[in-house]
Amino acid sequence: MDDIVKQAMAKWPNVPHCYGWLGLDARGNWYMRDEHSQALGGFASAIPGAKGSLLQHEKLIEFIQRNYAVDDVGQWYFQNGPQRVYVELEATPWVWRVSDDLCITAHDGTLVQWQCSLVDQRGWLYCETSRGFGLVHTQDVATASDAIEAGLWTLVAIDLLQLPQRYGYITSPQLRQEK
């Protein structure tokens, strides 16, 4: 976490949390969700416009990714100075990129070590890694499949509905808050 963020948290410890305004999609892209996009539906829905606006400002994305963390109940957030901005997840808290030499990096660019691969009933491919659990980016599924077929990676079938509980993450902190 950035030092400036830690200082802001110490200076203003009672800033209310923010829900629904930031999302991470299944390809590792960040979205800002204004009131209009939130009113259209959930982040993971297929409703046009519900995801919000794709963030493209490189420095802002880097800041979000440096200050991306998880709370004690599995809700992922971005610590924006003194304010905790909870993240709506389209799929998982991490999105993995797999290179031709089978090196895996997180959507934030951090190199991780592969531990296990899983596939759900839709055919979506996931990996457990040294950094945690996440979805393999759609552009890298073929490379990962080659590793599985070559016997370099093991593959376990899992039910999609079991993933959040098994790996301890909440896809929609906003919905959890509303209950």
68-125: per-residue pLDDT in tens? 999 999 999 999 988 999 999 999 999 999 999 999 999 999 999 999 999 999 999 9
pLDDT for 41: 94
For residue 23, the enclosing domain spans 3-91+169-178
Q: Amino acid identity of 174?
A: Q
- Whether residues 64 and 142 share a domain: the answer is no
Tokens found for residue 45 = 């829905």
Give phi and psi for 81, each to the nearest 5. 65, -130
- Whether residues 14 and 78 share a domain: the answer is yes
Q: How many residues does the chain have?
A: 179
**Position with higher pLDDT, 4 vs 36:** 36
pLDDT for 9: 66
State which H helix or E strand residue 174 sits in.
Answer: helix 173-178
- Whether residues 86 and 38 share a domain: the answer is yes
- Whether residues 131 and 74 share a domain: the answer is no
Query: What is the spatial distance between Cα 17 and Cα 82, in angstroms, rounded to a whole number?
Result: 9
Instruction: For strands 76-80 and 68-70, give the pairing.
Output: antiparallel
- Whether residues 83 and 103 share a domain: the answer is no
- Whether residues 58 and 85 share a domain: the answer is yes
Query: What is the spatial distance between Cα 77 and Cα 11, in angstroms, rounded to a whole number?
Result: 20
- Where residue 51 sits, what CATH number does that domain have? 3.10.540
- Whether residues 36 and 108 share a domain: the answer is no
pLDDT for 16: 85
8-53: per-residue pLDDT in tens? 767 767 778 999 999 999 999 999 999 999 999 999 999 999 999 9
- Whether residues 16 and 41 share a domain: the answer is yes
